[in-house]
Chain A
C-alpha cells in the first residue's frame, strides 16, 4: 500500500514546492519529473494490485481494485506526457508575455494540485471524500482557465465555476441521500459511506431512495462529464485555458467524473432490480453524442471544435456503460483509454497550430502541412484517429460499442452510426482546409516538441491493431467487476 501513499504524497509535495519555485526556469522540468515519479508509483501499484487483487488501506479510506488502478496508470501517463509538453510551451508563453511570473507559479502549483485531486478521486473508498476531491479538482483548475485574463477567458472561467459548482452540489445531495439509505441499514458512522461496504450491502438498500440518489448523482457528476444539456461550460473552459490545461481537462477530468458515475451505478444496480440507472445513462449518453456531433459543424474556434468532440465521445462512453453488457463495458473501458490518449495528443497539436497561426479561429489557420509538416501531419492523423478511422484504437472501441448495442438494442444502432458519421463529416470539413489550404503570409515554423503527440498516437495505433495481453486482462477484470461477467 505504500505505493498509494506515495502516489498521493508526491503531488502534495509538488504543489507546495512549485508554489514557491514555479517561476524559475527549471519549473517545467521539475513538474515533469514529479509526474514521472507519480507514474512510477502508479505502475508499482498496478502491478501490486494485478498480482494480489483488490487492496484496502488501513482505516479503509483508500481502495484500489482493477477498475481504478488502470485509470490511475492512465492518469499518471497522460499527466506526464502533457507536462513534458507544457514545460517549453509555458516557457514560451512567459517569453511572449502572455503570463506573468506569479501566474506561472499558480499554474504549476495548480497542475500538481489537480493531479492530487484526480488521484484522490480514483483511490478513495469514501463517497464523500470522492465528492470533496471532485470539487477540489474544479477549484484547482478554475483559476487556470482565466490565466490569460482576456474577457473571454474570465467569462469561461466564471461559467465553469458556477455551472460545475451548482452541478456538483446536486451530486452532494445525491451522496447525502445515499448515506441516508445506507444508514438506515448499516447504522450511523463513517462506514456507511464506504464504497466497499455499500457494494456488499447494495441489495439491502431501499430502492426508492437509491434511485432518487442516483438521479442527483448522475446530474451532478454528469455536469462534470459534459453530458448534454449540462455541457455548457465545457467548450468555453476547454478552449480558453492554456493548451496543456485543455489537454488534461479533456483527457483526465472527464474520465474521472465518468468513473464516479459508474461506481454509483454499480451500487444502484445492486439495489434496484430494474435497469433504471443504465437507461438514464444511455439516454443522456445518446443525447450528448448526437447533439455534440451536430454542434461540431457550427464551430469557428479550433479548440471548441475538439471540445465538442470530447463531449461526443464522453456521451458514447456513458451510453456504453449504460448498456451494461460485458462487451459494452469492455468497449467503454477501452474507449476511455484510447480517447484519453488521442484527445490529449490532439489538444497538444492544436495548441502548437494555434501558436503557429497566431489565432484559434479556424478560418484563419491554413496550410499547416506546408509550413510545419510535423504539426500538419499530427493534426491530420489525430483527427483521423479521433473520428474513428481504422486502424486506430478509437475505431476498435467504437466498433465494439456498435456490436454490443446491436446485441441488446438493435434499434439504437442507426442513431449511433448517424452520430459517428455526422462527427466524421464535421471534423473533416474543418480540418481539411486548415491542413491543406494555401499558406497565409508570414507564417513561420515554430519550435515544437511533438514527441508526446507521437507517443500517444503510436500507442493508440498499437491498441487499435492488437490489445496487449496484460491490458486485455486488466480490462477483463474491470469488466467483471462492473458488469458481473467477462466478455466472451
Chain B
C-alpha cells in the first residue's frame, strides 16, 4: 500500500526503518570508535522503538517483551560493555581511518539497491503492511558486513557483527511478527554470550600481537612464508 494510506503508527514504523538504515550509513563513515559504539546504541534504541510500535500496530503483545529485551541488550548492555572495553584498552583516542570513504558510501548505496531487488519477490506476496521494510533489514545486514570489510580495528568488526544481528532482528519484526519467544530468548542469549566472548578475545588479541589492528593477524595463510 502507498504510504499515504497507512495509519500513523505504520508510517512511523517505516520512518524508523529509514532512520535505522541511516544509522548504518553513519556507522560506515564514522572513524572514531567511541562514536561508532554510540551510533550502534542509537540503532538499538530505534530498533526497540520500531518493535514496540509494531506491537501496537499488529496487536501482538509479546513483541513488547522483545522490544524491552532488544533495548536492554542492544541499546544498553552491549554498548556499555564495548565502551568500557574501549576505554580500558585506550582505544578512545585512536582513529580507525577509512581508506576511501566516498567509495564505501557508494558501495553502501549499491547494497541498498541490491537488497531491494532481492526482496521484491518476498514483498509481492504479502499481506503485511510493514513488509516493505524487509528490504531495509537486508540492507542493514549487508551494510554491517560492509562495515566489517572496510575496517581494521577489531572493535569495529564486533560492532559490524552486532549490527548484522540488529538487521536480522528487524527482519524478524517486520516480516514475521517477531519470532517465537523461545527462539528470541535463545538468540538474545547467544548475542550476549558472543559479546562477552568478544570482550575476552580483545585481551587475547592484544596480548598476542600488541595491538587491535586485525590486519596484523595474518600468520596463518596458504602462501609460502
Query: In the complex, is A directly touching B at CB under 8 Å?
Result: yes
Say which residue of B171, B177, B194, B201 sits within 8 Å of A183 (CB atoms): B177
**For the complex, what is the distance from the CA of A165 to the CA of B172, rounded to whole Å?**
18
- Say yes or no: A152 contacts B122, CB within 8 Å: no
**For the complex, what is the distance from the CA of A142 to the CA of B200, rounded to whole Å?**
11
**Complex contacts, B98 vs chain A, CB 8 Å:** none
Known contacts A152-B219, A208-B125, A212-B122: A179-B179 contact under CB 8 Å: yes
B176 contacts A by Cβ under 8 Å: yes
- Say yes or no: B118 contacts A166, CB within 8 Å: no
**Complex contacts, A161 vs chain B, CB 8 Å:** 194, 197-198, 201
- Say yes or no: B220 contacts A128, CB within 8 Å: no
B126 contacts A by Cβ under 8 Å: yes
**Complex contacts, A157 vs chain B, CB 8 Å:** 201, 204
Give 1 or 0 for each of A283-302: 1 = CB within 8 Å of chain B CB: 00000000000010010000
**Complex contacts, A209 vs chain B, CB 8 Å:** 121-122, 125
- Say yes or no: A155 contacts B197, CB within 8 Å: no
B107 contacts A by Cβ under 8 Å: no
**For the complex, what is the distance from the CA of A139 to the CA of B181, rounded to whole Å?**
21
A316 contacts B by Cβ under 8 Å: no
- Say yes or no: B205 contacts A158, CB within 8 Å: yes
State how many residues of chain B have any CB contact under 8 Å with chain A.
48
A119 CB to nearest B CB, Å: 15
A353 contacts B by Cβ under 8 Å: no
**For the complex, what is the distance from the CA of A236 to the CA of B179, rounded to whole Å?**
34
B25 contacts A by Cβ under 8 Å: no
B218 contacts A by Cβ under 8 Å: yes
**For the complex, what is the distance from the CA of A161 to the CA of B196, rounded to whole Å?**
13
- Say yes or no: B187 contacts A162, CB within 8 Å: no
Instruction: Give chain A interface residues in 180-196, CB to chain B under 8 Å.
Output: 180, 183-184, 188-190, 193
**For the complex, what is the distance from the CA of A184 to the CA of B165, rounded to whole Å?**
24
A442 contacts B by Cβ under 8 Å: no
- Say yes or no: A136 contacts B204, CB within 8 Å: no
**Complex contacts, A129 vs chain B, CB 8 Å:** 182-183, 186
- Say yes or no: A166 contacts B145, CB within 8 Å: yes
**Complex contacts, A156 vs chain B, CB 8 Å:** 220
- Say yes or no: B176 contacts A183, CB within 8 Å: yes
- What 16 additional pairs, Cβ within 8 angstroms, besides A190-B180, A212-B118? A132-B186, A132-B187, A132-B189, A146-B201, A152-B220, A154-B209, A154-B217, A157-B201, A169-B161, A173-B168, A184-B126, A188-B176, A189-B180, A193-B180, A193-B183, A208-B122
What are 6 A-B pairs at a CB distance below 8 A? A128-B180, A129-B182, A166-B164, A169-B168, A177-B175, A298-B222
Name A's B-contacting residues (CB within 8 A): 61, 126, 128-129, 131-133, 135-136, 139, 142-143, 146, 149-152, 154-159, 161-162, 165-166, 169, 172-173, 176-177, 179-180, 183-184, 188-190, 193, 206, 208-209, 212, 235-236, 240, 295, 298
